[in-house]
Structure 1
Amino acid sequence: MRDAFSNALVSAAKQDPKVLLLTGDHGYALFDAFRHACPDQYLNCGIAEQNMVGVAAGLAKAGFRPIVYGLAAFVPIRVLEQIKIDVCYENLPVTFIGDGAGVVYAQLGTSHQSTEDIAALRAVPQISIYSPGDRFELTACAERIMHNPGPAYLRIGKADLGDIHSAPLSNWSNGDLIAATNTGAPFLFVATGSGVKLAQKVAAALGNADVISAPCLKPFPELSLRTLAKGREAIITFEEHSIYGGLGGLVAETLMGHYLGTFVRVGIQDRFSEICGNYTYLMESHGLAPESVEKRIRKALDASAQLQQ
C-alpha cells in the first residue's frame, strides 16, 4: 500500500505543478521517488506541525494544492485547531495524510498511536475523511481527493496486510460501500482500513457473513448501508479506532430507526495502550486478534438468540 501511496503522490504532482508535498522532517525513503520526480514541489517544514498547517493554508490561498503528511498522532491530532480554523473554516483545498493510524507504532506507546482521529475530524465541518484498506482503495481515494475542491483527510493504517480486492476500483464512487464478499449472508461485516482484513479472517472462521469495506467515512454512504442492512440478522463493524465516534458510531447513527437486529462494534475499547510490544502483540492486548473477535461475536449472537426465545 505504501508503494501505491508514493505512486499516487508522484502522479498528482506530475499532473499538476500546483501540488506541493509538506512534511514535518520525515526523511523516509517513502518520499525518494517524489523528491526525484518533483524536487521543487517538496517542502520540509521541520518538526513544527502546527506551523506546517498554517503554511499549507497560506499556500492554498495562493492557488497551490498542498498535501500535508505526518503521523496520525500528529496530523490530525496535534494540529486539530489549525485544521479547523486555518483550513476547514475557509474550505481550502488542503489534503492531510495521517500515516500509522491506529496502533501501528506499537513500540512507541500511546504518544505515537492514534485511535481517535476519525472521531475528532468527523465533527469538523467541510472536511472529507478516507480510510482505505488496500492499495486499490488507496489509489481510488487519492483520485477522489484530487477532484475534491475542499479539505480532505486520508487515514493510512497498517500498510502490509495484503490486498482486499483483486483489481483497481474503476467504478467506485463516494456513494458506495465496496463488497469484499456479498452473497446475502445473514451477517453483515462493515469494516474500514486495516479492519477489513480482520473482518475477512473472522468471516472465514465464522461463516454466514458478508464483508463490506467503507473507504469513505465522510460523506458516509448512508443509503448504500441501509440497503445492505435489510434482512440481516446481525451487523458487526470492524475498525482499528476507538469504538466511539468512528465507523461503529457512523453505522449506529445511520441505521437508527432502520435496523433492530444484533449490532456489535469491534475496535479499540475506552482505554489507552498501557503496554508496549510489536503490532500483533498490541492488537491482541486490545482484544483484536481474530480468535478473540470471533469468540466475542459468537457470544453476542448466542445472547441475542436466547433473548428471542
Structure 2
Amino acid sequence: MRAAFSRELANAAARDERVLLLTGDHGYALFDEFRKACPGQYINAGVAEQNMVGVAAGLAKAGFRPVVYGLSAFVPVRVLEQIKIDVCYEQLPVTFIGDGAGLVYSTLGASHQSFEDIACLRPIPHIDILSPGDAGEMAAAMNFALGHDAPVYLRMGKADLGNVHRQPPVLRRGELLQLRRGRHAVGLVATGSMLKTALAIADEIDASVWSAPWIKPLDEQALAAAVGRCKALVSLEEHSVAAGLGSALLEALSLTHPLPLLRIGIGQRFSSTCGSHAHALREHGLDLASVRERVLPFAARWSAA
C-alpha cells in the first residue's frame, strides 16, 4: 500500500509541477523514486511539523498542490491547530498523509501509536478523511485527493496486509464498497487494516462486508441503501471506538435508518507492553480470535431475531 502511495505521488508530480511533497524528516527510502524523478518538488522541512503545515498553506495559496507527509502521531495530531486554522479555515487544497496509523509502530510505544487521528479531525470543517485498506483503494484515494480543491487527510497503516480487491476499485465520495454479499441479518463495515479480519469472520457467519475507505463525509442516503436489509451492523477499525468509523456510522444512520451497531476498535487505554504489530493487536483485542469472540454471539443473536 505504501508503494502504491509513493508511485501515485511520483506519477502525479511528473504530470503536474504544482504537486509538491513536504516531509518532516521522514520517509527517505519511501520517496527515492520521487526525489529522483522530481527533485525540485521535494521539500524536507525537518523536525518542524507545525511550521511545515504553515509552509504548505502558503504554497497552496500560491497555486501549488502540497502533499504533507508524516507519521500519523504527528500529522495530524501534533499539527492539529495548524491544519484547522492555516488550511481548513482557508479551504486550501492540501493533502495530509498520516503514515503508520493505528498500532503498527507497536515497538515504539504510545508516543508513536496513533488511534485518535480520525477523532481529532472529524469535527473540523472542510476536510475529507480517507482510510484506504489496500493498494487499489490507496491509488484511488490519491487520485481523488490530488484532484480535490479542498483539504484531505489520508490515513495509511504501514503494515501491508495484502489486497482485498481483485480489480482496481472505483471510489465514490462518501460511499461504502461492498466486498462480500451474504445473508443480510448482520453486516460488517471495516476500514483500513481490519478488512481482512472482517472478511475472515464473514465467511463463518455468512455476512455481508463493506469497506469504508471514506470516513468523512459519509453519504447518508447511499449508506442507508447499502445496509438497508441488515438487522444489525458491526464496525471494525484500528482506531479508537470513540469518534471513529463506528461513531460516524451511528451518526449517519441515527435519524433515517437506526440499527444496532457493535463497535470494535481500541478502547480507552494505552498500550501497556511493547512488541510486534500482531502483539499489539492481541493486547487491544483486535486480533482475529478476539474479534471472533465478540462478533459471533452478536451475529447469532440478530440472526435468530
TM-score bucket of the superposed structures, by smaller chain: over 0.9
Q: Tell me: CA distance 1:184–1:224, structure 2 relative to 1, closer, same or farther (3 Å).
A: farther
* C-alpha distance 303-172 of structure 1, shift in aligned 2 (>3 A): closer
Q: Is 1:139–2:139 an aligned residue pair?
A: yes
Give aligned-pair identity as a percent: 53
Distance 1:37 1:184 in 2: 49
Matched, 1:221 2:210: no
State the Cα distance separating 1:146 from its structure 2 match. Answer: 1.4
Which residue matches 1:266?
A: 264
2:190 — aligned with what? 191
Paired position in structure 1 for 2:10: 10
With 238-247 and 212-221 compared, the bigger mean Cα shift is at 212-221
Q: Distance in 1 between matches of 2:148 and 2:229?
A: 35
Aligned to 2:242: 244
TM-score by length of 1: 0.94
Structure 1 equivalent of residue 93 of structure 2 = 93
Q: CA deviation at 1:265?
A: 0.4
Listed one character per residue, the Cα deviations across residues 261-286 of structure 1 (whole Å, up to 9, x for unaligned) are 54200110111112111000000000
Aligned to 1:82: 82
- Give the structure 1 partner of residue 200 of structure 2: 201
Look up the match of 1:285: 283
Within a 5 Å distance, the mapping from 1:161-176 to structure 2 comes to 161-169=161-169, 171-176=170-175
1:112 aligned partner, one-letter code: H
Give distance in 2, aligned partners of 1:175 and 1:278: 33
Alignment deviations for residues 119-173 of structure 1 (CA, whole Å, 9 cap, x no partner): 110111111111000000001111111121011101001441010101112x432
Residues 1:286 and 1:55: Cα distance change in structure 2 (over 3 Å): same
The match for 2:22 is 22
SS at match of 2:98: strand
Whole-Å separation in 2 of the counterparts to 1:253 and 1:299: 24
**Which structure 1 segments of 5+ residues have no match?**
none
C-alpha RMSD of the superposition:
1.6
Please say which of residues 101-110 and 287-296 is displaced more in the overlay.
287-296
CA distance in 1, matches of 2:70, 2:103: 15
CA distance in 1, matches of 2:8, 2:98: 15
- In the other structure, the counterpart of 1:102 is 102
Q: How far does residue 258 in structure 1 lie from its aligned partner after superposition? A: 3.9
**Amino acid in the other structure paired with 1:193:** G
Whole-angstrom distance in 2 between the partners of 1:198 and 1:160: 13
Cα distance, 1:302 vs. partner? 5.1
CA distance in 2, matches of 1:207, 1:158: 29
Aligned residues: 305
| CA positional deviation for 1:192 | 0.9
Q: Which moved more, 1:252-261 or 1:75-84?
A: 252-261
